[in-house]
Each structure stands twice: as structure tokens, then as C-alpha cells.
Amino acid sequence: MEYEELLKNVLKEKKASSGERFIPPEAEVNQSGQKTVINAEKFANYIKRPIKHIARYLMHELTAPGQIDEKNNIIIGGRFSRRVVQEKLNAYIKDYVICKQCSSPDTQMNKIDENFVVKCLACGAEYPVGKIK
């Protein structure tokens, strides 16, 4: 898979440069009735992105309704497997975390006016990322 290749390259680079490895923890995915409960808190903390933004992305990608419960779980309407959810989260990393200039995962995302801007702490690149509808 393309993403895995990308991640592998990133890991190699990271290891060579700082000794730190970028391995986001997997989200816990459980089906509950006709809903899918996703505990993505560790994942969100690790990649330093708001859980709300990740939830929005998942809803859009899965074309399903969703919400965040009081325990910060993402609840998606419909049953989605762990594999499908993880694939979407990997795609999220590619779109909103990995620097498009230098492939470093060491980036921040800031909201400027109504737009999100990713800033790379490794190479200094700064670019807007698409809005999730």
C-alpha cells in the first residue's frame, strides 16, 4: 500500500535524523449495535490533532453521521470494521499530519480564520489543508 511505503520511508528518515520513531497508536474500534465506537484519544494525542477534526474526517470519509460522547469516543452511525477505520486514519495522517514538503510527521495544525494550516517543525513549510465538508 502506498501509505505503508510512505510511512516506512518516514520511519527511516526519522530514525536517521533524531532516533525517534513515528508510530501512532492504533485506535480501538468496537461495534455496538448499529454504531461503531472509536477510541482515538491516544491516536489524537500522538499526532497532535483535535479529536473533533478527526471525527469530522471520519464522518465525511465514511459518509455516516457521528458524534463525540462524554468519554471522548467517536461514535459513528453504522458498522465499520477496525480495518476500514484504521485505513481512514492512515489517510488522515497522510493528508493532515505528514509534511507535504519533507515528509516529516513533526507538524502542527493551526486554525487561521476558517482555514486549517499545517506548519512543519522540521523544514518550516506552511500550507493550507482542505476543509472537511
Residue 122 and residue 113 in contact, taking contact as beta carbons nearer than 8 Å: no
Residue 104 interacts with Zn ion (CB under 5 A): yes or no: yes
Dihedral angle at the C-alpha atoms of 14, 16, 20, 25, nearest 10 degrees? 50
Indicate which single residue of 68, 101, 126, 132 sits in contact with Zn ion (rule: CB under 5 A): 101
**What's the full length of the chain, in residues?**
133
Q: Please, which of residues 52-71 interact with Zn ion by CB under 5 A?
A: none
Contact call for residue 118 and Zn ion (CB under 5 A): no
Question: What burial class does residue 74 get, using C-beta atoms within 10 Å of its C-beta: 0-12 exposed, 13-18 middle, 19+ buried?
Answer: buried
Give me the least distance between CB of 23 and Zn ion, in Å please.
19
Asked if residue 126 lies in contact with residue 118, where contact means CB atoms within 8 angstroms, the answer is yes
Judged by beta carbon, residue 52 or residue 119, the one nearer Zn ion is: 119
The answer to the question of residue 102 lying near Zn ion (CB under 5 A) is yes
6 binds Zn ion (CB under 5 A): no
Q: What does the binding site for Zn ion look like in residue numbers (CB under 5 A)? A: 99, 101-102, 104, 120, 122-123, 125
